[in-house]
Copies of this chain bind each other. A is one copy, B any other.
Amino acid sequence: MFMHNKKLMYTVRVAEPNPGLATLMLEQFGGPQGELAAAMRYFTQGLADEDVNRRDMLMDIATEELSHLEVIGSIVAMLNRGAKGKLAEAAEEEADLYASMTSGGDSHTMSILYGGGTGLVNSSGVPWTAAYIDSIGDPACDLRSNIAAEARAKIVYERLINVTDDPGIKDALSFLMTREVAHQKSFEKALYAIPANFPPGKIPGRPEFADKYYNMSQGEGDASGPWNEGEQWEVVSDREMQMAVDGGDGHATVEMDAKAGKAVEAFMSRTMSDPESDPVTGADLGAGAGAGRTTPIED
């Protein structure tokens, strides 16, 4: 069960309203690397995890992320507060309101649609979607996803810190950023506390394909490094050896019963193209008056 206390996890002191900056902050409120995504990621994992210890950790961190969501949301609310009042009360000339509302980012949407509130959107106004959450119900995968997510969130906070000169905001952001580092460390510990976590799952890889490195991008700049070099790797650069690596003919086939076969054949024949034709086309019709138009762009 969740409970709430009116104190924030971190005090928010904003120097002055700034709807443009508020928009940027939304990236960590309703954006893909933001706190709602984090909270829901761990919460949904926790609900179904069979390991009660890990489940406890997931719920601890999910709950903390909800508390972070409240902190970043409060920053957004404070940055928008002046604009909210002015627009609702029509406290300025239309032109002034228009100007302040289009001062940066997508703050115009935040004002017109959300009235200076805290929409669950990212800095471009794109609504949050659960498509951001990549949990799949396997701990050795989900913990890796969490590690990556925390790393990403850390960097987005770092970027926000770099563009903000309001000391109160900077202070709160640096707390939130630091916590992502701490969470990453916890998830790392939890991953490696699963004795055999690589490869994830139960079915082993097929040895004949597990150590190949297919050099698919060739030309000047072809490089090697520990990811394709060393005794565990065999590099395959010969294009012929990259095709149909099973030794088959590289085609796709299916056995169909007679009825299906006939239906496909009928379809095929009905929609067949005649490679010998040289048909007049719609483009030919349409190019009539534009015949002379394929002249160089420089003209």
In the bound complex, CA of A199 to CA of B75 (Å): 25
List, in ascending order, chain B residues with CB within 8 A of A74's CB: 47, 252
Chain A interface residue count, Cβ-Cβ cutoff 8 angstroms: 243
A148 touches B158 (CB 8 A): no
Listed residue (A67, A172, A193, A271) with the most chain B CB atoms within 10 angstroms of its CB:
A271
- Min CB distance A105 to B, Å, is 5
Number of copies: 6
List, in ascending order, chain B residues with CB within 8 A of A53's CB: 223-225, 273, 275
Known contacts A127-B126, A192-B281, A272 near B202 by CB under 8 Å: no
Chain A, range 6-63, C-beta contacts under 8 Å to B:
6-17, 20-21, 23-24, 27, 30-33, 36, 40, 43-45, 47-48, 50-57, 59-63
In the bound complex, CA of A137 to CA of B41 (Å): 22
B186 touches A286 (CB 8 A): no
List, in ascending order, chain B residues with CB within 8 A of A86's CB: 259-260, 263
- Min CB distance A205 to B, Å, is 4
- Min CB distance A190 to B, Å, is 5
In the bound complex, CA of A108 to CA of B172 (Å): 21
Chain A, range 195-232, C-beta contacts under 8 Å to B:
195-207, 209-230, 232
Known contacts A94-B162, A242-B3, A277 near B193 by CB under 8 Å: yes
Contact with B along A176-191 (1 / 0, CB 8 A): 0111011011111111
B197 touches A286 (CB 8 A): yes
A20 touches B102 (CB 8 A): yes
B119 touches A138 (CB 8 A): no
List, in ascending order, chain B residues with CB within 8 A of A210's CB: 178, 181-182, 294
A279 touches B192 (CB 8 A): yes
Contact of A140 among B218, B261, B286 (CB under 8 A): B286
- Min CB distance A189 to B, Å, is 4
- Min CB distance A107 to B, Å, is 10
A112 touches B24 (CB 8 A): yes
List, in ascending order, chain B residues with CB within 8 A of A14's CB: 252-255
- Min CB distance A187 to B, Å, is 7
Listed residue (A109, A225, A252) with the most chain B CB atoms within 10 angstroms of its CB:
A252
Contact of A108 among B24, B130, B195 (CB under 8 A): B24
Told that A3-B4, A4-B60, A86-B259 touch, could you supply 5 new A-B pairs with CB distance under 8 A?
A: A11-B249, A12-B251, A16-B256, A115-B159, A196-B290
Subset of 22 A-B contacts with CB under 8 Å: A2-B67, A2-B70, A4-B59, A9-B244, A11-B250, A33-B134, A50-B267, A53-B225, A60-B216, A85-B261, A88-B137, A112-B159, A120-B130, A124-B125, A131-B132, A158-B202, A175-B206, A190-B225, A192-B282, A204-B294, A225-B277, A285-B285
